[in-house]
Amino acid sequence: MNTVADQLIVLVMLINFAALGTGRLAVAIRAVALQGVILGILPVLIHSFSWHLVAITVGLILAKGILIPSLLTGAITKARITREMEPFIGYVPTLLIGAVLTALAFAFAAKLPLAPAHQGLLFVPAAIATLLTGFLLLVTRRKAISQVIGYLVLENGIFLFGLLLTEAMPVMVEAGALLDLIVGIFVMGIIINQISREFSSIDTSRLTALKE
């Protein structure tokens, strides 16, 4: 495996901890944007050159590194929030849980019946760790935008695992997955806007106040 690719995968996992440990939404958005750019670069490093690969790389960098972060930045500007003030679980315990989940991801990946070519690679444990990090963000954060960030990290984990299959996946499947992600972000943006309008807040825990 390319040494540069391994270093970038390690950086992806470090970004997971940056997202878990910060309460500043702008920092979390930039972290996820950087993670998206790294994921966009990785296919070029692990597969032979093709225009198909170039299209994937450009599309990913534009969508994950520029478009989606810009939408999220606009959302926090309109909602006039800068921090996740009261997560369900504090930042230090969340980081500790994230560290445990990352260790478990490596232990679990070591026991998977992977193809010989994929055994010993960082892709699988890093993908599982990133998936678990995204899920952890989803369940420990109150703000809807923080939960969207968690969803993005979770999707990055799915994509990281799929990088092992890039050569076998048709362009339309990859384009469809990217389109699903963008549509999901737009839908979440609408939901965030409605929550903010009705509750003057985007704290999802306040949805318990809804009544018929």
Q: Where are the chain's structural domains?
A: 3-165+175-207
Higher pLDDT, 43 or 132: 132
| Predicted pLDDT of residue 179 | 58
For residue 170, pLDDT beyond 50: no
For residue 210, pLDDT beyond 60: no
For residue 203, pLDDT beyond 80: no
- HEC string for 160-192: HHHHHHHHHCCHHHHHHHHHHHHHHHHHHHHHH
- The mean pLDDT of 162-173, rounded to a whole number, is 57
List, for residues 62-91, the tens digit of each pLDDT value. 888 888 888 888 878 877 777 877 788 888
For residue 177, pLDDT beyond 60: no
Give CA–CA dist 46/65, Å, rounded.
20
| Predicted pLDDT of residue 110 | 84
CB 156 within 8 A of CB 36: yes
| Predicted pLDDT of residue 99 | 95
